[in-house]
A and B are shown apart, each in its own frame.
Chain A
Amino acid sequence: MTSAKKKAAGPKASARSAAKTEKAETEQAKEIARSSKAGNKITTSSTAEYFSKNLQQVGFSSQIKATLTTLKEAVDNALDACEEHGILPEVTVVIEKLGAGSIKNSDQVRIRVEDNGPGIDPDDVPKVFGEYLASSKFGRGRCSRGQQGIGISAATTWAQLTCASGAKVTTKTKAMRKAVSCVVEVDIKHNRGVIKNRETIDWDRPNGTAVEFVFDGRVQLNGEAGLLSYLNGTTLVNPHLTLHYKVPDMELQTVERVSQEIPQVPEATEPHPHTMKLGEFIAHSHLFGRVKTGVWLKRGFSRVTDGTLQDLVKGGIKSSMLEKSVDALGEADFKSLFTAIQNLQLMAPSTKSVLSIGEESLSKSIRRLGAVDFFSVVTRKPTICDFKPVEVEVAIARLEDRSIDPDSPVQTLRFANRVPLQFDKSACAIAQALTSVNWRAYGLAQPKESFPIGPYIIAVSVVSPFIKFKNASKETIDASDELVEEIRRALIQAGQKLSKHIRREEKANELEEKIRHIEQFGPILVHGICRIVDAPDSRRTKAEEGLRKLLGRDAEVAEQELEQAHSRLEAQKEKEASRQPVVEAIEEGVLQED
């Protein structure tokens, strides 16, 4: 930012210095030169100032996106808060159009998101909604939806810039007798939240938070970038969520939860030395204070053991250095230590820190998207891609809705840490993996090198404590070869499972077709032959019988094939069911209690 300012001032200054030589160094020219130097002063701006001028970088690049991003940030925060505190989330979303907006061709939109989460301590409210980079999750290495603490403050800024009003927040924690209601605005100059109109009100619930934004935007419900796609996607990957929503032109909808299990977001593991840069490495040491360097390495990092320390010594690090207190190390020491570790073969980072939705929950959740004929779900084992733990899950369902154009591409739902990704599809690792699979092998139609077509939903979820997004608005996952390959494998497995359903259906169609064939063509063929040879009716009847027998045998073969396909599918279903008996039992228990 500051360097940009410098550059902008550059040509002005040079133009003026040219004027100076022209006017033969008069006193006046000197004065101008002096004043121009004064204008070149380097200033610092606040983070809020930066983001308020660059909201397009965080998801506010168009009016449609502004609506979606606002909704997304509010819902993400609600879900994260519930999960952190072990609460089964129940979220209510209301989106209304209030009239024309102040920007050309825009509507004034109100979004209200209400949750049954733990509530926010009133002192924290301005930080949460009005301060950039104020986050409880930043850099913790956990699979939470939000990470940096930019999104919701950006939504407040957008509302403030377009409608001159900040976020209206109502919140109540268990400890509070009454709820607090206020308006939060961003003090852009100082990156600070400012509270206005604070009042204490009665609220008919023990705890929770409601946040309301009024801003200029546009409401798009349908399509991959639509609000409904977001809400559907969110329910799919959050089987434990009960969602009520009211959007324009639709009645209030309620999607009940299908799982009573609150996902346990695994604790972060210590950082892996190979994922760090030198600066981070040194900064990391400051957290430990006065401990021996060897101890710091073992405690502060994952996959560093006594064996590793021995290898370091073998690699040329003096053992005395490992005995030294870490705060006594100089920059050169850190550098040599860091380089030595980078050159060692270490075990890949642990995959314990990733979180999965699970095949069982996904299977239940996918039915919430609408009536489906059949589906297949795959949860891959956590693995390491680009030295970061990752878990990929895939759900494919065929919709019963036959009004969908059969030649339109499948509906794809992409998720990163259980947040739907809805823009810039083509650049995303998930889209690249999807088009790289040969879907025809599994019975889906697919034009060359593109998305398969048909009435299917293909949902891909990537969960990782360190997802590499291409931009701050979290729209696309960076397509590294390793990640694309991992997603591809998940898709292939799901495709294989799905193909058993499709094959069975094909066989059933084939049988039907064959029977129809016999009924249709048998008589025509025999009649034709008889006319050519001028055969009597007796021969014709006999030949018709014979033909029926012949083709009947073919139909029997087709029936057998159908049976085989059917039993193969049943075997797959059984296998899947037996894989998660524990979860099943628990859930049944819960259901009975209910």
Chain B
Amino acid sequence: MTTKTRRSKSGDDQIPKLSKELCNRLLADLERARRPVLYATKCSLDNALYNHKVGFLTPGDKKVATELNVSSVKKMSRAIFMLEILLRNIDTGAVNTKRELYYISKGEIKHNPMLKPLDFSDQPESDATIDFICEMLECYREELNCYANDRGGQTYSQQLVVTETLPDGDQAVIDLSKLGTSPFQPKNRPQSLKLSARKKIDFCLIIESEGTANTLVANGFTKRHNCILIGAQGVPSNAVRGWTKLIQDQLSVPLYFFGDLDAYTLQNIYRTLKAGSAASLIRNSDYSAPEVRFLGVLPEDIKKYDLNDYPVKESDAAEGRALKKAADALKNDPFFQDKRNKGVAQILKWLLEHKRRCEQQAYFTVDPRDPTMPEKIIVEKIKRGNYV
């Protein structure tokens, strides 16, 4: 007997329903002394598909099977135990981090000695249990009311207004133009937010370096241009990814990504923002913005603006790994193999060939006395369509 779970669309009532279905099937199998098998989507590059019409990486048919046997009975018992806690949270609307859930489970076990064999010796064990539940239910942990620390995505705009519906039904309206130089921090699960513009917004610029985003705002970028400016803070978190998707869907403004010219940025940061990642195949639909374009730094910018670039140190472990991964991506990553993404694939090839890199801050070398020089270049590039 095989137990399959399939989820059409996310929704708060979906998880309890799915969980009950799953448990019912498990119970039915057990009553007949049949071995239940749980199938979870295989989240890896070899099970990732890309179609430019869809715009993000989607899961293929490969599944990971977990059969109930003597070796897996502990894992399953733990999963059911944790699922019960999570369902209670969903029911009451309480949210927790993974660490808090670790302590909640500890507390449960403390008060019920019968559960002692389930005890987690450290947090990685309880984290693995939560991840296993997500795989079984094909959901992401935010749907189980388990949130991570919000990181990245600090947003500046003189035009954007955010309306948040709170769990109790109240509405909060945030006008970003009233925040001064303070940014707006999007949540890890931005789906409960509604966006509107006080004035027509021309574009949204996502900047890899949070510091550079801050500099541009301080120098008056958002005052001079009707735009949204986001600092990504490295590899985009769920907050950044969901937030970008929300802007794309609700405001229909062109989105540009501006970051370093190197293999890591292109393949890890930009690709994740635009099409999601292999590890998050299940939730790429809610956490990717396929319309984002790569504004730079482009290889041709180096020549055009005489930017300071430098060779990649292959002896450096991290950089060597990034290059190796890039070569691998060109061969195996369906995103880079798609014709529509030829532009970014070519940049990756250029990087592998020339083994040089150029940072986003290099625009400051163009005219060291003019603090608005990077702004001018960025705006000029957008105007001329100088992006990929």
Contact = CB atoms under 8 A, between A and B. Distances in A.
Interface of A: 514, 517-518, 520-526, 528-533, 535, 539, 542-547, 549-551, 554-555, 558
B70 interface: yes
B27 A524 contact: no
A514 B30 CA distance: 18
B31 A543 contact: yes
A542 B30 CA distance: 8
Contact of B27 (A514, A539, A545): A539
B115 A524 contact: yes
Contacts of B84: 528, 531-532
Nearest to A555: B70
B73 A533 contact: no
A533 B20 contact: yes
Given A533-B24, A546-B32, 19 more contacts: A517-B70, A517-B73, A518-B73, A521-B73, A523-B114, A524-B114, A524-B115, A525-B73, A526-B27, A528-B84, A532-B83, A533-B23, A539-B31, A542-B31, A543-B31, A544-B30, A547-B33, A549-B33, A558-B70
A527 to B, nearest CB: 8
B329 interface: no
Contacts of A551: 69-70, 73
A528 B83 CA distance: 9
Q: Which 8 A-B pairs have the closest CB atoms?
A: A528-B80, A546-B33, A554-B70, A543-B30, A525-B77, A520-B117, A549-B33, A546-B30
A549 B114 CA distance: 22
Interface in B1-53: 19-20, 23-24, 26-27, 29-35
A517 B83 CA distance: 21
A543 B81 CA distance: 17
17 contacts: A517-B73, A521-B76, A524-B115, A528-B77, A528-B84, A529-B80, A530-B27, A532-B23, A532-B80, A532-B83, A533-B27, A543-B31, A546-B33, A546-B34, A550-B34, A551-B70, A555-B70
B353 to A, nearest CB: 39
B118 interface: yes
A560 to B, nearest CB: 14
Interface in B46-103: 68-70, 73-74, 76-77, 80-81, 83-84, 87
Given A524-B117, A539-B31, A550-B33, A529 B70 contact: no
Contacts of A554: 69-70
A524 B77 contact: yes
B23 A525 contact: no
B70 A525 contact: no
Size bracket, chain B contacts: 20 to 34
A528 B30 contact: no
B20 A532 contact: yes
A531 B29 CA distance: 16
Interface of B: 19-20, 23-24, 26-27, 29-35, 68-70, 73-74, 76-77, 80-81, 83-84, 87, 114-115, 117-118
B87 A532 contact: yes
Interface of B is mostly: helix
- The residue among B19, B35, B70 with the most chain A CB atoms within 10 A of its own CB is B70
A517 B80 CA distance: 16
A525 B74 CA distance: 8
A545 B33 contact: yes
Contacts of B76: 521, 525
Nearest to A531: B84
Nearest to B21: A533
Contacts of A520: 117
Nearest to A524: B77
B30 A547 contact: yes
B30 A517 contact: no
A526 B30 contact: yes
A529 B26 contact: yes
B144 to A, nearest CB: 14
A537 to B, nearest CB: 13
Contacts of A532: 19-20, 23, 80, 83-84, 87
A533 B17 CA distance: 10
Contacts of A545: 33
Contact of A521 (B29, B31, B74): B74
A542 to B, nearest CB: 5
Nearest to B80: A528
- The residue among B20, B27, B87 with the most chain A CB atoms within 10 A of its own CB is B27
B81 A524 contact: yes
- The residue among A518, A524, A542 with the most chain B CB atoms within 10 A of its own CB is A524
Given A524-B115, A545-B33, A549-B33, A535 B27 contact: yes
B31 to A, nearest CB: 5
A496 to B, nearest CB: 27
B45 to A, nearest CB: 31
A78 to B, nearest CB: 56
Nearest to A543: B30
A476 to B, nearest CB: 39
A529 B73 contact: no
Nearest to B118: A524
B27 A517 contact: no
Contacts of A521: 73-74, 76-77, 117-118
Contacts of B35: 550
B68 A550 contact: yes
Contacts of B114: 523-524
Nearest to B116: A520
Contacts of B70: 514, 517-518, 551, 554-555, 558
Nearest to B16: A532
Nearest to B117: A520
- The residue among B19, B33, B74 with the most chain A CB atoms within 10 A of its own CB is B33
A522 B31 contact: no
